[in-house]
Structure 1
Amino acid sequence: MTMAAVIESPTATAKAQTRSGAQRIAHVDVFHDLHEAEPIWRSLETSQFSTPYQRFDFLSAWQRHVGTRNDLQPCIIVACDAERRPLLLLPLAVGAENGVRVARFMGGKHTTFNMALWRQDFAATATQADLDALLRGIRELPAKIDVLAFIRQPRHWRELQNPMALLPSQTSANGCPLMTMAPGAPPSERISNSFRRRLKGKERKLQALPGYRHCVATTETEIKRMLDAFFTIKPLRMAAQKLPNVFADPGVEEFLRTACLTPLPDGGHAIEIHALECDAEVIAIFAGVADGHRFSMMFNTYTMSESAHYSPGLILMRDIVDYYAERGYTSLDLGIGSDDYKRLFCKDNEPIFDSYLPLTARGRMAAIGMSSMAHAKRLVKQTPALKRMAQALRAALLR
């Protein structure tokens, strides 16, 4: 029997253990080499209970270009049943933080959502006993992890609860604006007719530009052209907004270029790029990950030219919403943060949570500190006066 067949087939034994409350995780293994873990990882991807941010092609590019440069060691944890059939995989990286060994999901600040890759039937029936067995197994590994810092986890994914929500948790500091799209619904249910008319009026100015078009980058030439534009415009845009340029961090540009150019086995790329452009320039760019159900935005920018006055980012976002709705997608998110433009499209929030789980005595105090810092950050984000003070301080430090 193939690995994929084993992963996709629920068993009577598993159901009986779930009813009795017994834990089903019998073995917990760790891999420090991504390629050794790759066969299990890719087989669990086919179960489709993970977000597109947990694809092997996406995270292996991040680890190679960003994780390694930040002295983060791959720590791929695989939990199996008594027959050594994989039940879940945790794509983690471990690093030292203030003398404590902390394991976090791979991807760092570039992933909107973090999850394990689950065998779907196991995820649907996972119990507290299963999660306790998982933590016990991780604690006993030779990796010597002090704290599991699992941040930005969705409480649900495609209508199924994330089993990690059974562990102690707190609401994440930042929310994630979400748009849900009913299959076959008229365009006005996604974006109101009045808003569409406003955007159409602005777009007339752009339509006068020679070669104006919406482009989905599919060829190597198109992808490289879009990324060259992004890495030229984004530093200027962030400097104008007095924001730090996270895309200048070591390895980030190489990671994004690699992921954007990596084709997926079932078509598309690990990161998909949409753009408005004309013959003279790339006017706006939005890039994100997609899995046939959800498009999740990662990064964006728009021109510094006069064309910026005609809301090219909003026009491109309208095009992206319609593009994925026409292909049967049921949701779209615009990444972490509550920027005003996101609320023009996304009326709901994706509930996300953090867990700080100590595995050693030394990790206990560290977990308390991390949790407290996250609580304080959320308080600042939720309190307008404190948020304004924080923004003013950040702007002053960047002068």
Structure 2
Amino acid sequence: MTMAAVMESRPGKQAWSETGRIARVDIIDDLRKAEPVWRQLEQSGEFCTPYQRFDLMAAWQRHVGECEGMTPFIVIARDRDGAPLLLLPLGVTRASGVRVASFPGGKHATFNMALWDREFAARATGADLETLITAIRANAQADVLALTRQPQRWLGLQNPFALLPHQASANDCPLLIMTPGAPPQSRVSNSFRRRLKGKERKLQTLPGYRSHLAAEDGDITRLLDWFFTVKPQRMAAQQLPNVFADPGVEDFVRDACMSKLAGGGRAIDIHALECDDEVIAIFAGVADGHRFSMMFNTYTLSGNAKYSPGLILMRDIIDHYAARGFTSLDLGIGSDDYKRLFCKDDEPIFDSFVPLTLRGRAAAAGLSALTRAKRLVKHTPALMQMAQRLRGALPR
């Protein structure tokens, strides 16, 4: 697909196509200038994940992206009438002299996707994507696209980026499918529920014991204060790096949890199990009316931890969203044992590394090989055990 012309204009560069549904591609380096189109695609409920909401991504760029030197690289494709067909939210950083365009959010976003006009997404072809990539390549602001952790399908449609060359992501994402109107035991078995009920009886004797979704600013602040005190201790005990200690991350989380969405709710929802004396457990994630996707969690350091409060809260969350007609729930990247207690399936996710320049070809090959190596380690028990031993032996 050849481009008829490339020209400079505000707010970004534009490229025009002679054929195909994509007639123009705008490249914008300012989130505020992209906001009207971004919110239009997001709020129309077209085809996107809640991780790419403007409020969430704007908070991340403000507090983390800027600290990491990421420059917004927002790609908007339009039809001949100027109507947006997709918005691809990216940011450019430099690594070893290579300009890498990737999704914002880092490890804190389980899934990455463009925001699509649903009708266009359902009919998008390889030629459409070739037009898009050609326009991005002509912009010359990045050497390689690192499009990681993309779901193969979302809300019943194939992700059009699955038409690009791709490979399985390094990690899997455990998934629970929920059928509206199905009995509770279809989500959590009766035997597991009985076990959790037995443990919960111990907690129910605590004054003010309750399970709830935090709605008030004061509750959200109080729960986050507790989380940022307890989580580092939990991660240190497990000899894991504390990703919440990275520059700007705590401010990002607090900002997003406080951000109110136009349709109600918050950019990040916090579910909590607590009593009058302490917070016992929290799970926080994003929800869009179809899927709840967990972002972070932790549980008490007190003796109440022995009653499995995290599992009890997870049961409550599953029932909460099932009652509201949600059709799926995931517990984030990784195959921790507790996730498999609830999630028996996996969400297929993939990575695409698309070279844009000659230098980008080598970078794309290297990133692809690194991802394959990580996946091999994570799916080979002996290699995974060796990696864990090495990590535990490293000075901290």
Q: TM-score range by the shorter chain?
A: over 0.9
Partner residue of 1:73 out of 71, 79, 87: 71
Q: Distance in 1 between matches of 2:85 and 2:147?
A: 19
Match of 1:320 in 2: 317
1:47 to partner: Cα distance: 3.5
For 2:82, the aligned partner's letter is R
The 5-angstrom pairing of residues 95-174 of structure 1 reads 95-141=93-139, 143-174=140-171
1:23 to partner: Cα distance: 2.3
Partner residue of 2:278 out of 276, 281, 297: 281
Q: Distance in 2 between matches of 1:398 and 1:312?
A: 32
For 2:63, the aligned partner's letter is H
Larger fraction in helix: 1
1:27 to partner: Cα distance: 1.0
Match of 2:210 in 1: 213
* Deviation digits for residues 20-42 of structure 1 (CA, Å, limit 9, x no counterpart): xx621111111111111000000
Q: Secondary structure at the match of 1:69?
A: coil
Match of 2:11 in 1: none
Q: Distance in 2 between matches of 1:144 and 1:278?
A: 52
Partner residue of 2:196 out of 185, 196, 199: 199
Q: Distance in 1 between matches of 2:207 and 2:276?
A: 6
1:84 to partner: Cα distance: 1.7
Question: Would you say how many aligned residue pairs link Structure 1 and Structure 2?
Answer: 377
* Deviation digits for residues 10-58 of structure 1 (CA, Å, limit 9, x no counterpart): xxxxxxxxxxxx6211111111111110000000112430000000000
Q: Distance in 1 between matches of 2:325 and 2:392?
A: 42
Match of 2:8 in 1: none
Q: Distance in 2 between matches of 1:263 and 1:381?
A: 37
Q: Distance in 2 between matches of 1:48 and 1:205?
A: 45
Partner residue of 1:43 out of 37, 40, 45: 40
What value does the CA root-mean-square deviation take over the aligned residues? 0.8
Long gaps (5+) in structure 2:
1-18
Q: Distance in 2 between matches of 1:104 and 1:284?
A: 33
Q: Distance in 2 between matches of 1:301 and 1:91?
A: 30
Match of 2:301 in 1: 304
Long gaps (5+) in structure 1:
1-21
Match of 1:5 in 2: none
For 2:185, the aligned partner's letter is S
Match of 1:3 in 2: none
TM-score by length of 1: 0.94
Q: Distance in 2 between matches of 1:251 and 1:48?
A: 31
* Deviation digits for residues 253-296 of structure 1 (CA, Å, limit 9, x no counterpart): 00000000000000000000001000111000100000000000
Is residue 47–residue 119 contact of structure 1 (8 Å, CA) maintained in 2? no
The 5-angstrom pairing of residues 219-368 of structure 1 reads 219-368=216-365
For 1:166, the aligned partner's letter is L
For 1:108, the aligned partner's letter is G
Q: Distance in 2 between matches of 1:331 and 1:144?
A: 38
Q: Distance in 1 between matches of 2:192 and 2:45?
A: 38
Q: Distance in 2 between matches of 1:218 and 1:236?
A: 26
Q: Distance in 1 between matches of 2:28 and 2:394?
A: 41
Q: Distance in 2 between matches of 1:344 and 1:48?
A: 32
Q: Distance in 2 between matches of 1:126 and 1:356?
A: 20
State the identity %: 68
1:398 to partner: Cα distance: 4.1
TM-score by length of 2: 0.94
Q: Secondary structure at the match of 2:221?
A: helix
Partner residue of 1:87 out of 78, 85, 88: 85
